[in-house]
Amino acid sequence: PRSTLFPYTTLFRSLRSAYILAVALWELGRYERARQLSEDTLCRCRRVLGDDHPHTLRIAHNLAATQRKLGRYEQAHQLGADTLTRCRRVLGADHPHTLRTAHILAATLRELGHYQKARELGQDSLTRCRQILGADHPHSLRTAHILTATLWELGHYQHARELGEDTLTRCRRVLGDDHPHTLRTAHVLAATLRELGRR
């Protein structure tokens, strides 16, 4: 009956609004406030919707990304790994939410110094992103950038150069010369060229 569903619907809308606000705070750079709201919302989602509900997984991904921005890499790693496992089981390995979670986890692994694991996850994620979203999709470009940086960390400079040049060309065409992702990609490519003696 509608009267039975109404409280659940209202609560779900409240949780969804909290998620949207947390994302907006993150985009404004208010990471600590976004973390606080995301943690509270995740607890409520798990209690009301369950650990594997798609909305719970989205807020968990958002919290992992926020923890990474705050330099809480171990917490981001633990939550990101758990969320990726659940996303793959519930949504499938090629779902956009799964791919975004894999991207955050790969970036976190890199920052923790787990470069080989980051490379493996990054390569798998990039292949899937290009197949599902296309090579020029902004998420594919972000994933390619993280993989390029990881290859650089591993000393695979020629591979990093090839991927970095391709990614920079795509970033300039899709995002523009002055976009932050374009600039970050150019920075890593410049460092790679330096290592290859292309000063």
CA distance 156 to 184: 18
Q: What is the pLDDT averaged over residues 133-142? A: 96
Please compute the mean of the pLDDT values over residues 99-115 and round it to a whole number: 96
What's the burial of 72, exposed, middle or buried (CB within 10 Å: 0-12/13-18/19+)?
Answer: middle
Q: What is the pLDDT of residues 7-57, one digit of tens each?
A: 457 777 888 899 999 999 999 999 999 999 999 999 999 999 999 999 999
Cα-based angle 95, 11, 66 (whole degrees, multiple of 5): 50
H helical segments located in the chain:
2-27, 31-48, 54-69, 73-90, 96-111, 115-132, 138-154, 157-174, 180-195
pLDDT tens per residue, range 150-199:
999 999 999 999 999 999 999 999 999 999 999 999 999 999 999 999 98
> In terms of residues, how long is the chain?
199
pTM of the full predicted structure? 0.88
In this predicted structure, what is the pLDDT of residue 166? 98
How many whole angstroms separate alpha carbon 43 and alpha carbon 60? Answer: 10
**What is the model's pLDDT at position 141?**
97
How far apart are alpha carbons 12 and 126 in whole angstroms? Answer: 33
Count the Cβ atoms, other than its own, within 10 Å of residue 136. Answer: 13
